[in-house]
Amino acid sequence: MTEVAAPTSALPEPGGPDPAAPVRRRRALGDNTIVVTLLAFVAAMVVGAILIAFSDPATRSASAYFFSAPMDTLRAAASAIGRGYAALFEGAVFNPTTAARGTVAGIFGPISETLVSATPLILGGLSVGLAFRAGLFNIGGQGQIVAGATCAGYVGFAWHLPVVIHLVVAIVAGMVGGGLWGALAGWLKARTGAHEVITTIMLNYVAVNMLGFLLSVKGFQRPPYGQAISNVVDANARLPHLLGSSLRVNAGLFLALLAAYAIHWLLTRSVLGFEFRAVGANQNAARTAGMSVERSYTRVMLIAGVLSGLAGVTQILGTNSAITGDIDAGIGFDAITVALLGRANAGGTVLAGLLFGALRAGGVQMQSSTGTPIDVVSVVQALIVLFIAAPALVRFLFRLHGSGAGAGQGLAKGWNG
Amino acid sequence: MSTAATTRPGDEVVIHRVVEKPMSTRRRVGIGVAISVLGLLSLLLGHNAQAHDARFDLSQGSEFFHVPDLVLPVAATAYVIGIILLAVGAYQAVRGFRPRGLRIAGTGIGALFMLAFLSWAASGGKGSTIDLLGVLENTLALAAPLILGALAGVLCERSGVINVAIEGQMLAGAWAGAMFGTLMGRFGGVLTALVAGALMGWLLAVFAIRYLVNQVVLGVVLNALSLGLTGFIYDAIMQPNANTMNTPQVFQPLQIPVLSKLPLVGPLIFDQNIIVYLMYALVILIQWGLFHSRWGLRTRAVGEHPKAADTVGINVLRVRYVNVILGGAIAGLGGAFMTLGSVGSFTKGITSGNGFIALAALIFGRWSPKGAVAASLLFGFAYELQTLLSLVAPPVAIPSYFLAMLPYLATIFAVAGLVGKVRAPGADGEPYVKE
């Protein structure tokens, strides 16, 4: 309570020159967002390690006689944690065993998986982050991704256009689909004051059910109409692979990086971005300065929707080849954590997306080689964000001083705000 | 504090009179047109009816006396209802009901239209019988977790803490109920479900109240945490040892002596399992307590204007802690209903969005316990309708997906003010920091 209560008390401490020096050093550390982020990561990985040990049968059976031979339990736990995190690393960055084969897939396979997972997360994170900057909370990533993937996928399998043109048209269709779905929430807020958190959550479910319906309609559903899966996207409309067909990494990555640059430019260099930030910082001031707050709600949600729609595009034109009910794959919600970890700026979001992409890719490897459930990754992700959102807790855990506010604080207000 | 409660000469007397803003013409006509459209739809249903009669089964067989089946001539019923709705719609468009009257009329209109709709649905295929009592029983079973989740939301949000984490709290309760219900017996399961939900509520409270984390962010993250943790434990220990870890005994319905033999309401309300009875008690307790007890007054004060509440000596943060933790426990009970009350085992993400529908019910019910119950029942009915329509095969197939969308669309309409503006508690979501 006491530490966070005064967010502006980062003034230098008055008093003698030296006795406060260690305190000041610790305060400087505690105020540094990078340090706090790293410590949050460490704390979350520690909890993850406990879970890995817990899920290890050897550790559990050794813990039955913990009090007679405690070292057995600790040794088994240490070995399980070591194997688990080694597998995570091998799945996400570099696997010496497969690399020894000398093939491209063996060497770059893990990195490729990380980038494939990171691509939609970056796009989704940019979407949530942009809305944050304008003071809006976009929980509608799921719906926008579904809308984007549905439109892009439909153009991808129902239309038959020449090379390049087909891909471009499909991407644009996805952007339009996601954009409109996002703009709907922004427009409702501008027009009626309906809180975007409520409307975006509800629109998620509307989109998912709409997709469920489409997947039961002939012309959309793939023959012989037994499964809820769409037709296959034409080869012309697919995002090209970057490192040969043996690796899944595709041009969607460029889309994500391009979008990140565009958002960076938008927020720091353009009039529109300035307007968004002004509205996010202080609505009343923005209105007094002659900006239309309502119009910016619609616009920012439109662009946020376009970004989420692009995440859907990379899902359907890059990673998968047909639409299924879970085309969103939880990205809409993970994107929120990515945006928070990335502190709602473009560069940070790219890094956060890569980190979470690596965790996802590594988690798959960990599950298959050590049997540790992949859910440990969701726990670690949630904890990282929980810790960085409450820097006071991290500072308390690591005995640092400081007073910075957490990520996502003071952005979206209450339901009536 | 003045010592005398009576007014003395010279005191300023303030008379508060609640003035209802008259409804704008546009909205009045809009609602009238909407009702008329339902009326036209009813006429259309009557026109489209295939079989002559629709049969509704209203009894279970254990009542004091047998309630005969309700047999309605489909076309005539739908036509009559259609004409009534057209008349009501015209009255609303021209004269307009008062808000209170409109709410009552709205309930009646909904019920009548549903009767026409169900008659029509039953007239398809072989003119099968609709087990109306069964439909209502299922509705209650589907609504029970929603009601408990929405009550959890009422407690939190009335005290000023946004609870988007209902889903996570329910999931924790469902998990604890199944696992500890297997290990310690089902009552132990219910108890641990309450504790698990309360722990999730405590996390929400600590981070929202002490660390001032944005409450919507927090809710989303806690949902992810709960989904991850319960999924992890399920994969790591429950699924490999399903027989010893994930087979709780399910609560069987308990018949209340005499009352359960009443026609209609007996089997529907007084032949339920213990969690449902607990739910009845909670609904009544919270509805009464919120508006007639010291706790309720404090809760509402803290949620509407914490500074004023603090000024008169209410411990704002403590009230919020207590309410959020209690709310978590109630949501946990809602989760336990799923594993111990109906399904009988836990699976990953078993709550499947029920926490979010409960959130929708809370909002649609205007943050009041009564309203939340009504909204939950409505949403539960929309669920049940999906099953029903797949069983009776109406003359025109209606994709269940559109029915599944109804709760969400209804909530969007509600917050957008198309059916009367809903307003959240004044300080909902705003952390309180003493200056």
Q: Is A415 on the interface with B (CB under 8 A)?
A: yes
**Among candidate residues B130, B146, B181, the one where a domain is terminated:** B130
Amino acid at A98: T
Nearest to A177 by CA among A315, A80, A275: A315
What's the gap in Å between the CA of B416 and the closest CA on chain A? 5
Q: How far is A44 from chain B (nearest CA, A)?
A: 11
Q: Give the pairing of strands B53-56 and B70-73.
A: antiparallel
Structural domain for B340, as ranges: 134-415
Partner residue opposite A202 with nearest CB, options B218, B360, B417: B360
Using DSSP, state whether B162 is helix, strand or coil.
Answer: coil
Burial degree of B262 (CB within 10 A; 0-12, 13-18, 19+): middle
* Residue at B254 is within a domain: yes
Same domain, B236 and B251: yes
Q: Which of B75, B96, B130 is the last residue of a domain?
A: B130
Q: Are A126 and A144 in contact (CB under 8 A)?
A: no
Q: CB contacts < 8 Å between A and B, how many?
A: 176
C-alpha angle A262-A195-A282 in degrees, rounded to nearest 5: 60
Q: CB A193 to CB B417 under 8 A?
A: yes
Q: Which residue has the higher pLDDT, A62 or A19?
A: A62
What CATH number should be reported for the domain holding residue B310?
Answer: 1.10.3470
In this prediction, residue A186 has a pLDDT band, given cuts at 50, 70 and 90, of very high
- For residues A198 and A205, give the distance between their C-alpha atoms in angstroms, rounded to a whole number: 11
Nearest to A209 among B214, B405, B429 (CB): B405
Asked if residue B86 has pLDDT above 80, the reply is: yes
- Compute the nearest-CA separation of A208 from chain B (Å): 9
**Residue A70 C-alpha, separation from nearest chain B C-alpha, in angstroms:** 22
Inspect the interface and report whether the beta carbons of B408 and A206 lie closer than 8 Å. yes
pLDDT value for B240: 87
Q: Using CA atoms, how far apart are residues A19 and B388, in angstroms rounded to an integer? A: 76
Q: For residue B399, which residues of chain A lie inside 8 Å, CB to CB?
A: 213, 216
Does A408 touch chain B if contact means CB atoms closer than 8 Å?
yes
Average pLDDT score over residue span A143-153: 96
Q: Which residue from A minimizes the CA distance to B219?
A: A386
User: What end-to-end distance do the CA atoms of chain A give, in Å?
Assistant: 24
Contact A205 B426 (CB under 8 A): no
Chain B hits for A379, CB-CB cut-off 8 Å, are 225, 228-229, 232
Percent of chain A past pLDDT 70, that is, above it, reads 89
At A275-330, the pLDDT tens digits run 999 998 888 899 999 999 999 999 999 999 999 999 999 999 998 889 998 898 88
Residue B70 φ then ψ, to 5°: -90, 120
DSSP line for B20-83: PPPPPHHHHHHHHHHHHHHHHHHHHHHHH--SSEEEE----S-SSSPPPPEEEEHHHHHHHHHH
Q: Are residues B85 and B171 in the same domain?
A: no
ipTM for the complex?
0.85
What pLDDT is recorded for position B106?
83
Q: Tell me the pLDDT band of B129, cut-offs 50, 70 and 90.
A: confident
Cross-chain Cβ contact B231/A188 below 8 Å: no
Same domain, B56 and B167: no
Buried b (16+ CB within 10 A) or exposed e, B337-358: bbbbbeebbbbbebbebbbbbb
> What value, to the nearest 5°, has the Cα angle with vertex A372 and ends A368 and A375?
105
The answer to whether residues B119 and B36 belong to one domain is yes
Statement to judge: residues B197 and B248 lie in one domain: yes
Report which DSSP code applies to B6.
S
Facing residue for A373 by CB, picked from B216, B232, B356: B232
Q: Answer whether A213 sits within 8 Å of B164, measured CB to CB.
A: no
Query: Looking at the structure, do residues B146 and B242 belong to the same domain, yes or no?
Result: yes
Q: Is residue B96 assigned to a domain?
A: yes
B214 interface with A at CB cutoff 8 Å: yes
Q: B13: Cβ–Cβ under 8 A, 6 or more apart, which residues?
A: B7
Q: Predicted confidence band at B414 (pLDDT cuts at 50, 70, 90)?
A: confident
Lowest mean pLDDT segment, chosen from A135-149, A391-405, B152-166, B380-394: A391-405
Would you say residue B318 has pLDDT above 90?
A: yes
Which residues of chain A are within 8 Å of residue B162 when distances are taken between CB atoms?
414-415
What's the domain count of chain B?
2
User: Does residue B434 belong to any structural domain of this protein?
Assistant: no
- 3 state SS of A246: coil
For the cut 60, the answer to whether the pLDDT of residue A408 exceeds it is no
Distance CA A266, CA A261 (A): 8
Q: How many residues make up chain A in this entry?
A: 417
Is cis: bond before A224, omega within 30 of 0? yes
Cα three-residue angle A71-A74-A79, rounded to 5 degrees: 125
DSSP state of A235: G
Domain assignment of residue B330, yes or no: yes
pLDDT digits (tens, 9 = 90+) for A86-132: 999 998 888 888 888 888 888 888 999 999 999 999 999 999 999 98
| Chain A touched by B235 (CB under 8 Å) | yes
Same domain as B329, residue B284: yes
pLDDT digits (tens, 9 = 90+) for B150-170: 999 999 999 999 999 999 999
What are the tens digits of pLDDT across the range A40-65?
899 999 999 999 998 888 888 888 88
8 Å CB contact of B416 and A416: no
Q: How far apart are CA B175 and CA B220, in angstroms?
A: 19
Condensed to tens digits (0 to 9), the pLDDT of residues B131-142 reads 888 889 999 999
Ranges of each domain in chain A = 1-95+358-408, 135-240+247-329
Same domain, B164 and B84: no
Paired tokens of B28? 């009045």
Cβ atoms of B31 and B419 closer than 8 Å: yes
B6 or B416: which carries more pLDDT confidence? B416
Q: Which of B173, B158, B175 is nearest to B303 (CA)?
A: B158
B269 at the A interface (CB within 8 A)?
no
| Same domain assignment for residues B293 and B350 | yes
% of chain B surpassing 70 pLDDT: 92
Lowest mean pLDDT among A288-292, A407-411, B310-314, B325-329: A407-411
For residue B241, pLDDT beyond 90? no
Residue B172 within a domain: yes
Pair B356, B213 in one domain: yes
Residue A416 with chain B: CB contacts under 8 Å: 423-424, 426, 428
pLDDT score, position A5: 40
pLDDT at B369 over 80: yes
Judging contacts by C-beta atoms under 8 Å, the chain A residues touching residue B228 are 375-379, 381-382
What is the mean predicted confidence (pLDDT) over A153-179?
A: 94
- Asked if A194's CB is within 8 angstroms of B416's CB, the reply is yes
- CB count within 10 Å of CB B377 equals 19
pLDDT of A111 reads 92
Distance from the Cα of B396 to chain A's closest Cα (Å) equals 16
- One domain, residues B293 and B183: yes
| B335 inside domain | yes
Query: CB-based contacts of A315: which residues, under 8 Å, 6+ apart?
Result: A120, A145, A149, A327, A328, A329, A331
How much is the mean pLDDT over chain B? Answer: 87
Last residue of a domain, one of B130, B161, B181: B130
Give B231's contacts in chain A (Cβ within 8 Å).
373, 375, 378
Query: Are B78 and B168 part of one and the same domain?
Result: no
